[in-house]
């Protein structure tokens, strides 16, 4: 007979969102049951953000070594041990894993169950031969790689983000299907580590980002040697001897590609299967679990956060969602999500970071009633000192200066976007950024200079000159 556990909060999924809820709730005095059928830490730690950035770091290090001659440093050909680069990836995962481990969460006071969970009613879940009844549930089961229906795909072995970090043999020629952030990051990492790489994208690369910013990334990856096929349809995949043949249609022409390895980076699919969601009265579809602004499902005792809701699929979003749930579930506060200032970063070199509205979405919403200002990295002294002058910032505001969005492409763009996220969330005007005191020389001056440039037309106008000349007459 099943054991019955009664608790305050039951969290299903120990990825970044679920762990944040569990840690916060238990440390605030709630009894917490945490259920995870796979690895603690979820996709982010094991197959997503952490390993991808670790592999990118290795690739960027190799590329920086190749480009060291621009500083007068000559070090000969760069030799890459691909297996050691993968060792670095797994050492990073191992270093972070204790923070997300069963042992740590049990020490915090959580009851951790390592098993598959399934709802059997509106306030009951079974997992590992135990029945859990809770006052509130949180579904944080994340997402998995989506596999597109391509003719012949079942005949070949392929990677997704869930398997590529186990590969220790450098691909001779990696074909990447998908030119979103995951596809481009992995394409560049492998190219910089010595592989030939081809990317096939049915739309344009990074379609959710500002096209002017994307063009900088496109130019760099092509210059490094990656072959890009945009607006291309993948028609057929076949195994031919020891190679993979990919037939695409590009500009009305059928093209045959042959590679040694294949990576699918064609989006994510919410993990809603086998959870018994219907038995709990939770509305859902293949696109995810439906939630309201308080992240409640149609069963108001159950919340859903992160990728499983089918919304913005970023680790930092799962963490943000966790805070909303804790306020609702523990303190009964009607906290609601506000996604207007959500930043995201593609960690290619150069990085591309975005927050708020881009120029196209701003014009769709406000027409021509916006102002756009830009500033180049080439005008920044720190960028010149480090020979990293490729890129620029673009800021979109209302005519009165309220910040609607910002995008940055260039070195450390992901580190620079935070101030703009804060500005948008607090509904600041651009004068607040222009008035910052920023240390010199830093890349942070790019944001200040862009904000200052917003005032240039009025500050150095003939009207201003007349006022200054008039005032100077009085001494």
Statement to judge: residues 188 and 133 lie in one domain: no
Tell me which residue range forms the domain holding 400: 343-459
Statement to judge: residues 203 and 315 lie in one domain: no
- For residue 165, the model assigns a pLDDT of 97
Domain presence at residue 186 = yes
Q: Which two tokens stand for residue 161?
A: 């983000």
Statement to judge: residues 281 and 158 lie in one domain: no
Statement to judge: residues 133 and 281 lie in one domain: yes
Domain presence at residue 84 = no
pLDDT digits (tens, 9 = 90+) for 178-221: 999 999 999 999 999 999 999 999 999 999 999 999 999 999 99
Query: In angstroms, what is the C-alpha Rg of the chain?
Result: 25
Statement to judge: residues 398 and 452 lie in one domain: yes
- For residue 2, the model assigns a pLDDT of 67
The C-alpha atoms of residue 388 and residue 383 are separated, in whole angstroms, by 5
Domain presence at residue 174 = yes
Statement to judge: residues 411 and 440 lie in one domain: yes
In degrees, rounded to 5, the angle at the alpha carbon of residue 280 between the alpha carbons of residues 277 and 283 is 55
- For residue 264, the model assigns a pLDDT of 98
Domain presence at residue 338 = no
Residues of the chain with pLDDT under 50: 1
Statement to judge: residues 255 and 273 lie in one domain: no
Q: Which two tokens stand for residue 124?
A: 């009951």
Q: Which residues of 76-91 are buried (b: 16+ CB within 10 A; e: fewer)?
A: eebebebeebbeebee
Statement to judge: residues 177 and 250 lie in one domain: yes
- For residue 464, the model assigns a pLDDT of 79
Phi/psi at 414 (5° precision)? -65, -30
Write the CB contacts of 396 (distance below 8 Å, at least 6 apart in sequence): 356, 357, 358, 359, 362, 370, 371, 372, 403, 404, 405, 406
Residue with tokens 């509130």: 136
Mean confidence (pLDDT) of the chain = 96
Statement to judge: residues 259 and 273 lie in one domain: no
**DSSP states of 94-135:** HHHGGGGSHHHHHHHT-EEE-S-EEEEETTEEEETTEEEEEE
Statement to judge: residues 261 and 290 lie in one domain: no
pLDDT digits (tens, 9 = 90+) for 8-20: 999 999 999 999 9
Domain presence at residue 54 = no
Statement to judge: residues 176 and 245 lie in one domain: yes
Q: Which two tokens stand for residue 289?
A: 């679990």
By DSSP bridging, strand 196-200 and strand 173-177 are: parallel
The CA-based dihedral angle spanning residues 409, 414, 416, 421, taken in that order and rounded to the nearest 10 degrees: 110
- At which of 305, 329, 353 does a domain end? 329
Residue with tokens 């756009």: 372
Domain presence at residue 91 = no
Residue 350: give its domain's CATH number.
Answer: 3.30.390.30
Q: How far is CA 388 from the centre of its chain?
A: 23
Statement to judge: residues 213 and 130 lie in one domain: no
Q: Which residues of 156-175 are buried (b: 16+ CB within 10 A; e: fewer)?
A: bebbbbeebbebeebbebbb
**DSSP states of 384-413:** HHTT----EEEEEE-TT-BEEEEEEEETTH
Domain presence at residue 88 = no
Number of domains in the chain: 3
**DSSP states of 83-100:** HHHHHHHHHHHHHHGGGG
Q: Is residue 4 packed enough to be buried (19+ CB in 10 Å), middle (13-18) or exposed (0-12)? A: exposed
Domain presence at residue 464 = no
Residue 193: give its domain's CATH number.
Answer: 3.50.50.60
């Amino acid at each position: 007979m099943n054991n019955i556990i009664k608790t305050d909060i039951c969290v299903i999924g120990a990825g970044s969102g679920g762990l944040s809820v569990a840690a916060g709730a238990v440390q605030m005095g709630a009894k917490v049951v945490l259920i995870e059928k796979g690895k603690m830490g979820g996709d982010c730690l094991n197959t997503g953000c952490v390993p991808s950035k670790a592999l990118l770091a290795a690739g960027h290090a190799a590329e920086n070594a190749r480009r060291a001659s621009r500083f007068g440093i000559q070090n000969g050909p760069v030799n890459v041990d691909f297996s050691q680069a993968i060792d670095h990836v797994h050492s990073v995962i191992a270093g972070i894993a204790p923070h997300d481990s069963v042992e740590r969460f049990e020490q915090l006071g959580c009851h951790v169950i390592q098993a598959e969970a399934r709802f059997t009613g509106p306030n009951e879940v079974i997992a590992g031969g135990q029945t859990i009844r809770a006052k509130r549930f949180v579904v944080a089961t994340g997402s998995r790689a989506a596999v597109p229906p391509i003719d012949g795909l079942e005949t070949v072995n392929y990677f997704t983000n869930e398997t590529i970090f186990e590969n220790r043999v450098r691909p001779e020629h990696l074909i990447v299907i998908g030119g979103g952030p995951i596809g481009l990051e992995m394409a560049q990492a492998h190219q910089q580590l010595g592989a030939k790489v081809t990317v096939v994208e049915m739309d344009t690369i990074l379609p959710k980002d500002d096209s002017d910013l994307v063009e900088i990334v496109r130019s760099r990856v092509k210059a490094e040697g990656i072959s890009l096929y945009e607006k291309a349809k993948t028609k057929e995949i076949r195994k031919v001897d020891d190679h993979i043949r990919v037939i695409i249609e590009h500009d009305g022409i059928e093209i045959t590609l042959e590679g040694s390895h294949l990576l699918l980076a064609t989006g994510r699919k919410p993990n809603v299967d086998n959870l018994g969601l219907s038995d709990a009265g939770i509305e859902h579809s293949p696109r995810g679990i439906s939630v309201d602004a308080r992240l409640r499902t149609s069963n108001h005792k159950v919340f859903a956060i992160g990728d499983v809701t089918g919304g913005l699929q970023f680790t930092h979003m799962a963490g943000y969602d966790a805070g909303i749930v804790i306020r609702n579930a523990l303190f009964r506060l009607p906290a609601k999500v506000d996604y207007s200032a959500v930043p995201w970063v593609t960690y290619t070199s150069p990085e591309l970071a975005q927050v708020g509205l881009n120029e196209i979405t701003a014009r769709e919403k406000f027409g021509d009633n916006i102002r756009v200002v830009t500033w180049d990295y080439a005008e920044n002294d720190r960028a010149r000192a480090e020979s990293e002058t490729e890129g620029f910032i673009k800021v979109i505001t209302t005519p009165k200066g309220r910040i609607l969005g910002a995008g940055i492409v260039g070195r450390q763009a992901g580190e620079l976007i935070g101030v703009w996220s804060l500005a948008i969330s607090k509904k600041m005007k651009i004068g607040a950024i222009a008035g910052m005191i920023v240390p010199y020389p830093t890349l942070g001056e790019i944001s200040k200079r862009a904000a200052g440039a917003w005032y240039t037309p009025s500050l150095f106008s003939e009207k201003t000159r007349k006022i200054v000349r008039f005032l100077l007459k009085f001494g």
